[in-house]
Amino acid sequence: MAKIKMTAVVTGQEQLTEDIFDMRIQAARIAEDAVPGQFVSLYTKDGARLLPRPISLCGIDREAGELRMVYRIAGAGTKEFSKLKAGDTIDVLGPLGNGFPVEPGKKAFLIGGGIGIPPMLELAKALAEANARLDGSASAQAGAQPDGGFPEQDGGRAGLVQSILGYRDSQMFLKHEFEEFGPVHVATEDGSAGTKGNVLDAIREQGLSADIIYACGPTPMLRALKAYAAEQGIPCLLSLEEKMACGVGACLACVCQSKDVDDHSQVHNKRICKDGPVFLADEIEL
C-alpha cells in the first residue's frame, strides 16, 4: 500500500474533554486506502520540531475523502494541532502501519483504554457493516417472505460487536458513537461510571464472552488482555501504543520484543510503526 504525503485541509475540530480533541481533515487520497487500525503522521509548522506526530485514525470516510483523528494533547506538537480550525492546512503522511483484520460473523470484544479508544470506533463500524452484509446475504439466499420481509436470522448479528471502554473518570468521550454498533460496557478508574476498575473487571462483572478480541490501549492493559485471551483460548489482536520517530520503520525507535527474528534488524524485535501497530498477541512479548 503506497504512503502519500500531502497537504490536507482541516474541515473541523471540536474539543471533547479538557485535553482531548476531535479533528477532521480532507485527505481523499489517503482515505481511499486506509483501513481500521492504521495511523497517519502529522507535521507541525514549527521548524524546530522536525519529527511528525503519529495519530491513530478514529474515522475513515472514503465517500467524503475525510479522515477523523481523536487525540490527546501530549506535548507542544499536539498542542499546536489543537489550535487548528476549519480552513487551516496541515501536512500529513499516510496511511501507515498494518490495521485490524475484519472478521465478520464472530462475537467480538472491541476493547479500548484511554486514548486507545478512538481507533476502535472505525473498527466497530467496519465490523457492524460486514456483519450486516452477512445477514443480507443469508436473507437473500433464504428468499423473501410473502409479506415482503425476510426470515429471522437467529436474532441477527447486532450483538456481535461488544465494546468495552476504559476511562479515567466520567468524561466518556465517543461512548455514544460506539452504541450505534452494539452494546457498550464501561469501566472507570474512579468508579464514577460503569464498573469501578479496568476493562477486565467490566468483562468479569458483566459475565461477557467473545470469540475474538481486538484491543488498543496502555501496555499494562494489553498485557492483562493477552494473558486473559490465552487463558480463554481466544484469538487476540493488540494495537500497541508507542512513541515513534520516523513512522515508516527505518529508525528502529519504536520496537517491541517478538518471538520471531525480524528480517530487518536480525534480532527478536518488531517495528511497531511498520510491522504493527496491530499484532497477534502471541507474536509479541509485553
Query: Taking Cα atoms as reference points, which of 3, 14, 74, 8 lies closest to residue 42?
Result: 8
- Per the annotation, does 236 bind a ligand? no
- Per the annotation, does 195 bind a ligand? no
- Per the annotation, does 248 bind a ligand? no
How many whole angstroms separate alpha carbon 127 and alpha carbon 137? 15
- Per the annotation, does 219 bind a ligand? no
- Per the annotation, does 71 bind a ligand? yes
Question: What 3 state SS string does the chain have?
Answer: CCCEEEEEEEEEEEECCCCEEEEEEECHHHHCCCCCCCEEEEECCCCCCCCCEEEECCEEECCCCEEEEEEECCCHHHHHHHCCCCCCEEEEEEEECECCCCCCCCCEEEEEEHHHCHHHHHHHHHHHHHHHHHHHHHHHHHCCCCCCCCCCCCCCCCCCEEEEEEECCCCCCCHHHHCCCCCEEEEECCCCCCEECCHHHHHHHHCCCCCEEEEEECHHHHHHHHHHHHHHCCCEEEEECCCCCCCCCCCCCCEEEECCCCCCCCCCEEECCCCCEEEEHHHEEC
- Per the annotation, does 55 bind a ligand? yes
- Per the annotation, does 72 bind a ligand? yes
- Per the annotation, does 52 bind a ligand? no
- Per the annotation, does 251 bind a ligand? yes
- Per the annotation, does 256 bind a ligand? no
- Per the annotation, does 254 bind a ligand? yes
Query: Taking Cα atoms as reference points, which of 54, 56, 34, 42 lies closest to residue 10?
Result: 42
Question: Which amino acid is residue 79, in one-letter code?
Answer: K
Pick out the residues of the known binding site.
53-56, 70-72, 77-78, 246, 251, 254, 273
Pick out the residues of the known binding site for FAD.
53-56, 70-72, 77-78
Pick out the residues of the known binding site for [2Fe-2S] cluster.
246, 251, 254, 273
